[in-house]
């Protein structure tokens, strides 16, 4: 489905409310029917979840957004000069707040013609697309889709810079990440480039604090997946019956977020005719957030034929941004 408005905004919708509900139903049936239980993190981001994520980015404990912004502030001019991109594609774009640094630099370099934000969250995407169209007067071709399913729907042509910021790649489990990168690389032409933000391995205390803030915003974000299931699938989760858990796993090199049932109880999910039993202390894994090192990024991109041309971090070395091209 394509909608265009009077300004230069086109929105391609590959996830309608019906297809979203069907995909959520399948994930809930599989994930809550499994042992151990698991839910994919993409379901955090309804309107409330997107607002909660936005609040997370401003928390004192959550350093990744500030660290990545510092890298982009320092390097956006170089990125624009090296890529001379006419199209900026952004995967998992959210509010595209940091992306403005890239849009500014590409505008200043005189190459920018088109911006293509891509996100599963339609309302957030439409808001960002309209704001950027107004502010930059650039053609905006937004795509509502799942970057694990709809990468083939990205706009083609020109010199594209595909940005995947925020460390969202770390929310994919290793096999899904490898599949995502392979598909992405397959779709890149010789003049395209890939800009990837990756949060870096660091000490446990800082990592766990970033995912378990004192104000409880991340806890609310974590529980939001239960509100999403209640709304979309007529379930009767009481989110407050679950504790928020965030733990660093040094062997896997990722943070795991879980929801831990405070007591034994059952939940009815009428929309899919499913009853789910939870034991006291039983956990549902809701997110992994993998943390990287430079060699690991180079190895994973190299495995799909992408060469890292530039590697930058913020001054503290907390967050890495790489610029890669097809080899």
In angstroms, the CA 134 to CA 288 distance is 36
Q: Rule CB under 6 A: say whether 320 interacts with ligand AVI.
A: no
Cα angle 296-94-204, degrees, rounded to a multiple of 5: 40
Q: Rule CB under 6 A: say whether 49 interacts with ligand AVI.
A: no
Residues in Cβ contact with 217 at an 8 Å cutoff, skipping those fewer than 6 apart: 52, 55, 56, 59
Q: Rule CB under 6 A: say whether 50 interacts with ligand AVI.
A: no
* Closest chain position to ligand SAH (CB): 166
CA nearest neighbour of 197 among 324, 44, 109 = 324
Out of ligand SAH, ligand AVI, none, what residue 287 binds, judged by CB under 5 to 8 A for its kind, is ligand AVI
Q: Rule CB under 6 A: say whether 320 interacts with ligand SAH.
A: no
Kindly identify the residues of this chain, within the stretch 148-167, that bind ligand SAH according to CB under 6 A. Answer: 148, 165-166
Query: In the complex, what is the shortest distance from the CB of residue 289 to ligand AVI, in angstroms, rounded to a whole number?
Result: 3
Whether the Cβ atoms of residue 37 and residue 282 lie closer than 8 Å to each other: yes
Span of 6-14, 99-107, 161-169, 302-310 interacting with ligand AVI by CB under 6 A: 161-169
In angstroms, the CA 92 to CA 56 distance is 16
Cα angle 13-152-149, degrees, rounded to a multiple of 5: 70
Residue 106 or 284: the one with the smaller Cβ distance to ligand AVI is 284
| Beta strands 37-38; 254-261: pairing state | unpaired
Site string for ligand SAH, 61-100 (x = CB under 6 A): ----x--------------------------xxx---x--
In angstroms, the CA 31 to CA 202 distance is 30
In angstroms, the CA 140 to CA 49 distance is 24
Site string for ligand AVI, 171-190 (x = CB under 6 A): x-------------------
Q: Rule CB under 6 A: say whether 115 interacts with ligand AVI.
A: no
Q: Rule CB under 6 A: say whether 120 interacts with ligand SAH.
A: yes
Out of ligand SAH, ligand AVI, none, what residue 218 binds, judged by CB under 5 to 8 A for its kind, is ligand AVI
Residue 55 or 241: the one with the smaller Cβ distance to ligand SAH is 55
Whether the Cβ atoms of residue 161 and residue 99 lie closer than 8 Å to each other: no
Q: How does DSSP assign 214-267, residue by residue?
A: TT-HHHHHHHHHHHHHHHHHTB---GGGEEEEEEEETTTTEEEEEEEESS-EEE
Residues within the interface to ligand SAH (CB under 6 A):
42, 45, 50, 53, 57, 65, 92-94, 98, 119-121, 124, 146-148, 165-166, 168
Residues within the interface to ligand AVI (CB under 6 A):
56, 64, 166-168, 170-171, 211, 218, 221, 287, 289
């Amino acid at each position: 489905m394509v909608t265009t408005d009077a300004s230069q905004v086109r929105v391609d919708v590959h996830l309608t409310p019906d297809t979203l509900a069907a995909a959520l139903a399948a994930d809930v049936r599989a994930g809550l029917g499994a042992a151990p239980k698991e839910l994919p993190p993409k379901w955090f981001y309804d309107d409330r979840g997107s607002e909660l994520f936005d609040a997370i980015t401003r928390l004192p404990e959550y350093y990744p957004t500030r660290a990545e912004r510092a890298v982009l502030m320092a390097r956006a001019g170089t990125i624009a000069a090296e890529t001379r991109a006419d199209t900026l594609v952004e995967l998992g774009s959210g509010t595209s707040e940091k992306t403005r640094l890239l849009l500014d630099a590409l505008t200043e370099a005189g190459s920018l013609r088109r911006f293509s934000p891509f996100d599963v969250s339609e309302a957030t995407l439409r808001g960002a697309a309209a704001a950027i169209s107004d502010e930059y007067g650039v053609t905006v071709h937004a795509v509502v889709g799942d970057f694990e399913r709809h990468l083939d729907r990205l706009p083609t042509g020109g010199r594209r810079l595909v940005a995947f910021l925020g460390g969202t790649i770390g929310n994919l489990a290793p096999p899904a990440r490898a599949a995502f990168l392979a598909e992405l690389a397959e779709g890149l032409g010789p003049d395209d480039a890939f800009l990837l933000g990756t949060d870096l391995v660091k000490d446990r205390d800082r990592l766990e604090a970033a995912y378990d803030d004192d104000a409880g915003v991340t806890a609310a974000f974590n529980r939001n997946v239960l509100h999403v299931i209640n709304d979309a699938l007529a379930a009767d989760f009481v989110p407050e019956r679950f504790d928020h858990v965030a733990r660093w796993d040094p062997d896997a090199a990722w943070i795991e977020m879980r929801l831990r049932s405070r007591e034994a109880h059952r939940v009815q999910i009428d929309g899919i005719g499913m009853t789910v039993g939870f034991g006291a202390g039983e956990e549902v894994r809701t997110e992994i957030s993998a943390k990287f090192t430079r060699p690991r990024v180079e190895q994973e991109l190299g495995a799909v034929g992408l060469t890292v041309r530039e590697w930058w971090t913020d001054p503290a070395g907390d967050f890495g941004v790489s610029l890669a091209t097809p080899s």
